[in-house]
């Protein structure tokens, strides 16, 4: 079955620690994205990647870092510099990079990060 997996589903972190959220897709999609959702808010873009070894900042990239060494993987690191890291994090992918064709983004199940 093709899809997007995110692990773990729940993650707890002590303040001041870095933590990495996993995102893997086997859909052979070129583009991948990271969003953050806070209660009562829409999804806000953190980072996106159009192709392997390339990524761009989204609207709220401060305190986050990513890598795209493989087409199927796009891990997100939440660093200690992120002031309010507690949130629900969603990874998504799309067939073509934005601006090439219109295509919907497919989302993973999400990871809820709680900073203690």
Residues in region 26-85 near another protein by CB under 8 A? 33, 35, 40-45, 48, 56, 58
Q: Does 2 bind another protein (CB under 8 A)?
A: no
CB atoms within 10 A of CB 41: 10
Nearer to another protein, 13 or 107 (CB): 107
Q: Do 23 and 4 meet the contact criterion of CB atoms below 8 Å apart? A: yes
Q: Does 87 bind another protein (CB under 8 A)?
A: no
SS3 108: coil
Q: Is the dihedral of CA 38, 43, 44, 48 positive or negative?
A: positive
List interacting residues with another protein (CB under 8 A): 4, 6, 9, 33, 35, 40-45, 48, 56, 58, 88, 90, 92, 98-99, 102, 104-110, 112
């Amino acid at each position: 079955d093709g899809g997007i997996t995110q692990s773990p589903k729940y993650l707890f972190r002590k303040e001041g620690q870095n933590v990495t959220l996993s995102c893997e897709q086997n859909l052979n999609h070129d583009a991948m994205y990271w969003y953050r959702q806070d209660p009562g808010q829409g999804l806000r873009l953190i980072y996106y990647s159009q192709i392997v070894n390339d990524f761009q900042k989204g609207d709220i990239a401060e305190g986050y870092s990513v890598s795209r060494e493989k087409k199927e993987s796009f891990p997100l690191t939440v660093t200690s510099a992120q002031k309010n890291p507690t949130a629900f994090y969603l990874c998504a992918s799309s067939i073509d990079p934005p601006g090439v064709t219109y295509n919907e983004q497919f989302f993973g199940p999400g990871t809820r990060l709680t900073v203690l």
